[in-house]
A and B are shown apart, each in its own frame.
Chain A
Amino acid sequence: MINMKNIRETISSYIKEPSFIFFLVFLASLVAFIYKTMQIENMTNNYVKYDKIIDRLSILDNDFDMFLSQKLTFVNYDDVTNDIKQFRVNLSLLEKAKFFNHYSKKIKKDLDNLKIEFGKKNDLIERYKSYNATTVSSLSYIFSFAQAMKYKKETYKEINGVIFDLTKLFIGIKLNDKTIDGDIRDINSIYKKDSKDDLKYLWLNVKQTTKNILILNELNKDIKYIKLKKIIKQIRYKIEQSYKKKINNLEILSIIIFIISIIFLFIFVYKYIIFLRNAKDLVSFRYAVENSDNIVVITDADRNITYVNEAFIKNTGYTKEEVLGENPRILKSGLLPQEFYDEMNVLLDQGKKWSGDFINKNKYGKIYYEKASITPIYKYSKLMGYLSIKLNITDYIEQEKRVIHLAQHDQLTGLKNRRAMEIEVEQNLKDAKVAGVRVAILFLDLDNFKNINDLLGHNIGDLLLKSIAKRLKNNLDESDSIYRFGGDEFTIVITKNVNEKNILMIAKRVINLVNKPLIIKNNDISSSASIGISLYPEDGEDMTTLLKNADIAMYSSKISGKNRYKFYYENFSQELKKSINIEHELSNALKNSEFSVVYQPKYSLKNKKIFALELLIRWNNEKIGTVSPDIFIPIAENLGLIYDIGKYVFAEACRDFKDLKQNLTDLKHISVNVSAIQLNDKNLKKDFEKIMEEEKVTPKDLAIEITETSLMRNIEENVKILNEFSSAGFTICMDDFGTGYSSLNYLVQLPINNIKIDKTFVDVIFSGKKELEMIKSIISISDNLDFLTIAEGIETQEQEDLLKHLGVDFGQGFYFSKPLPKKELLTRYK
């Protein structure tokens, strides 16, 4: 049963194939053509057959006429009898239905006429036979009588006359009735005179013969009225015409059929060539489909899988055998809602193409993503099945996730970045608004991070950031989000239990965490952070405002001395306005002559005489008041203003030196602080020389004071530059010595003249044993290397005495003199 159905389906599918139909039509036409050709031959054969019959009828009719012309002759009637029989037989051959089918039913009428006329002729012949037979025997009697008669001359003469008349009749000479009647009367009168038997029979025979001859003559006349010949001719003509017409039609028809069959043959061949090409294409397509990276699945109309390609097997883990006949829903992961499939089915049921992304699971339960398009396949407007082309996009999706992760995370610390923060905080604020809760943003900036970077290099700086990030991450609640905002800035967003007390505790904890000592690559690093806190909703309704305000609060912490936290409050903003405007004001400070300089003396501990003056800059702005160099110098460095400020300071020193030298006779030089950034300016020395030339001072009148920490960065280069300055005649003074990390090796290489012992050592000279030892070491090194030592920040008599005792050469500090403007200094030491 199934086989039969399959076969039927196969056949019907072939029959539907256009090229096959064309082939069938071609075959049918060819058969029709052959059939028509055979018909033509058949018709010709038939025509020849019937024509022969008509021929025979015609010949027989001629025979009949021949027979009828043999008047008064003895004839063996078998011949004519046979002829009649033959005529009848041939006639019956024409009477058959086939004959009319071959020609026309109209011929039937002619044939009927033919039969009627033949009947007439037949009757005539029969009559002719009868009368001819009688007449022949009568004539025979009469001639025999005449041959043998022995009568009187008169009688003889009379009989002879009669016989002569009969002879005339016999040979066809017409006699009038009178003559014949006369003859018969004559014979009768002879018989009556001489009543002999033979005369009686003579009279009877003459009477009979004359009568018969007349009848025979009449019959001969009648022959003319029989139209047998004409009808035969007519039939012959008609069948010939009919035959010619039919043959002509058939020939035209068969030519048409032949042309049609040729046309269909061409169409078939053309279609077949296309079919072959398609078949070739199909092989290529199949190869392409088989080896495509796209997953190809074909189902029947009931959505049972009928085909899957290699990619399917590779991606799902199923073998062909396992999935053929199955519904593709076996791949469902259940991760997509039913509505997703419902929407897809609505489209497919409408016969439309669907495309979308599946989340499926493979044979082993592993989830994978597919970009899929499903197209219903229609053939002759009947749904044949579905074609599904899918691409496994799992890698892509994962990659995308990674990209998003990367885009939202800081690579160095692994924390979420600013971008992520913006997205998440927006969401947090939305959620908080709905829930009616508060959110806190802690803005954290590491203090002095720039110094660490400058002194120890970026590597160490990076490691520091990493360590702090790790600490924060490990020690804060999971619900608290930490972001690296950029550089050394972090934000901490708190969404749970946001109240002042709680936030305060968290801020304290963060500061403690940052303050914890840290050893990075054998460097002891202490770090601190300034934190600003803003709260939603009171400090801002949107992220930008909240961040700005947290930043302001942080800035306030910085200004307030760093390593602390501050909550934002509204007036706070007003107070800090000037601070925030430092940068803006600083850039105009030089132009507006807002800078001024003061000098702090460096004096000999032995004779208390002023040996040198350290120039210190002061900035007084109308709006923001006096700003410490500790704050604005780094800003000036960042803004690139430091070069001009540096030149201004150096020029002031040069200009003031002569006046001061006149009053302070022991004054050797004025020292100017130069930052590492300035030092790296290639034009620095030229600029200084130009200024000195203008002010008519020499390098020995000036000292360059540079901090140990800034020297250590880029030490090799700095050694070179300082050597140039030193050889030019400048005094080189190392500031803040002891706080940095100078190695002895560098101390030897550097062209140092003076060393300043940092205030931190001096401060604890009585309490810190280590620091005292440190001072002693510095003094010892300086003795050995011919450095002059200067102790900073001497504030008491005891400090001065001890330092003097230890062998320090010079002192500086509030105990001797605070920094003073030039005017005041001149007044005091006049």
Chain B
Amino acid sequence: MLMKKAIFSIFVVSIFLFADGITPIPLKVTDVNPKKVSLGHKLFFDPILSRNDTVACVNCHILSDGGDDNRRFSIGIDGQLGNINSPTVYNARYNFAQFWNGRAKSLKEQAFGPIENPIEMGNNFPNLIKTLKKSSYKQEFNAVYKDGITKQNIVDAIAEYEKTLITPNSPFDKYLRGDKDALNSVQKEGYELFKSKGCISCHNGINIGGNLYAKFGVFEDAKSKSLGRYEVTKNKLDKYFFKVPTLRNIARTSPYLHDGRYNTLDGVVRFMLEHQLGRKAKKSDVHKIVAFLLSLNGKLTK
């Protein structure tokens, strides 16, 4: 009996033992071109990107509040309502793909999307380039890019800026870096549960998520309207597979899930445990895990 228990223990431990599951965010971004960053920064905040000069990137990715808009669905041009929850722009560079369905492989690819999306910025690139060429952007682009204002250069500048949007120095990162006091005991217990309950099997890596797709509703039907990755690949096997989102700054980015169905962390943690991990969600466990999640808030960019 004991023997068997020991074997199982070894199995359990072996699953997570050597896992260097989560890594901290670097304290500084060094791999960017400052000129491009400053141009991208300006564009990010400038509604000139939208058809009628009303919507800027920052509208849905409010940097002072978690890099999203805290709405279930975002509001685009002419007050149109989107059909998906806006993901945070913070630490997006660490995602292996962008958008919930992963349809953009990079930040640059992502940046094309909202500009030409009729319910987001509702613009098109020929028009945008024309508009930009009439503005002071002409000189600024010429100063940075040899070929001046082009479709590629616009998204390149924005993506370059977005690379700088990271949130280092969260308490958990500090903990990972060796500051054992950065987490309180409840949070520490929460972290252990995060690992033992199997959360970490999907939410791992530098971004605590954002590096794989997972089926939405593994053990129980999650009743999703969106078909997830299937929308991109049209492969039956991909039905209801979504990009696993980052948990960094999770406390700042409610509502949760692709359809923003939960407003609280308690709710969404319970949902995850039951639907995704196939376990009973004990109240105390949920409480502890939420406490841990709160330690993932990093320092926001101003």
Contacts and interface: CB of A to CB of B under 8 A. Distances in A.
B204 A136 contact: no
A146 B96 CA distance: 36
Interface stretch (A5-13, A78-86, A585-593, A683-691): A78-86
B90 interface: no
A74 B16 contact: yes
Contacts of A204: 219, 278
B214 A133 contact: yes
A140 B23 contact: no
Given A147-B9, A160-B4, A77 B211 contact: yes
Contacts of B16: 74, 140
A78 B218 contact: no
A141 interface: yes
A208 interface: yes
Interface residues of A, number: 37
Contact of A144 (B4, B12, B20, B21): B12
Give the secondary structure class of A's interface: helix
Contact of B198 (A130, A136, A198): A136
Nearest to A139: B15
Given A74-B15, A140-B12, A197-B280, A130 B213 contact: yes
B201 A130 contact: no
A77 B205 contact: yes
Interface string A690-717: 0000000000000000000000000000
A430 B100 CA distance: 137
B9 A76 contact: no
A84 B214 CA distance: 18
Contacts of B105: 88
B212 A130 contact: yes
Given A146-B8, A197-B280, A74 B200 contact: yes
A163 to B, nearest CB: 8
Contact of A147 (B8, B15, B20, B202): B8
Nearest to A128: B212
B218 A134 contact: yes
Output the residue of A73, A133, A141, A197 with the most chain B CB within 10 A. A133
B145 interface: no
Given A74-B19, A208-B218, A140 B201 contact: yes
Contacts of A140: 12, 15-16, 196, 198, 201
Contacts of B206: 78
A126 B278 contact: no
A138 interface: yes
Interface in B13-54: 15-16, 19-23
Contacts of B280: 197-198, 201
Contacts of B11: 139, 143, 167, 170
A127 interface: yes
A139 B4 CA distance: 15
A146 B4 CA distance: 9
B131 to A, nearest CB: 30
B205 A78 contact: yes
A76 B205 contact: yes
Contacts of A201: 219, 278-280
A220 interface: no
A143 B12 contact: yes
Given A136-B198, A146-B8, A208 B278 contact: yes
Contacts of A534: none
A136 B280 CA distance: 17
A204 B273 CA distance: 13
Contacts of B21: 74, 76
B201 A143 contact: no
A782 interface: no
A140 B16 CA distance: 9
Contact of B214 (A88, A130, A170, A198): A130
B15 to A, nearest CB: 5
A205 interface: yes
Contacts of B215: 130, 134
A208 B218 CA distance: 8
Contacts of B172: none
B212 A76 contact: no
Contacts of A81: 96, 205, 211-212
Contacts of A74: 15-16, 19, 21, 200-201, 204
B278 A73 contact: no
Given A84-B96, A130-B241, A143-B11, A76 B277 contact: no
A129 interface: yes
B201 A78 contact: no
Contacts of B278: 138, 141, 201, 204-205, 208
23 contacts: A74-B16, A74-B19, A75-B204, A76-B20, A77-B205, A78-B23, A133-B201, A133-B214, A134-B201, A136-B201, A137-B198, A137-B199, A137-B201, A137-B202, A138-B278, A140-B15, A141-B278, A141-B279, A143-B9, A146-B8, A147-B5, A170-B11, A201-B219
Given A129-B213, A134-B214, 5 more contacts: A74-B16, A81-B212, A123-B235, A147-B12, A201-B279
Interface of B: 4-5, 8-9, 11-12, 15-16, 19-23, 96, 105, 196-202, 204-206, 211-215, 218-219, 233, 235, 237, 241, 276-280
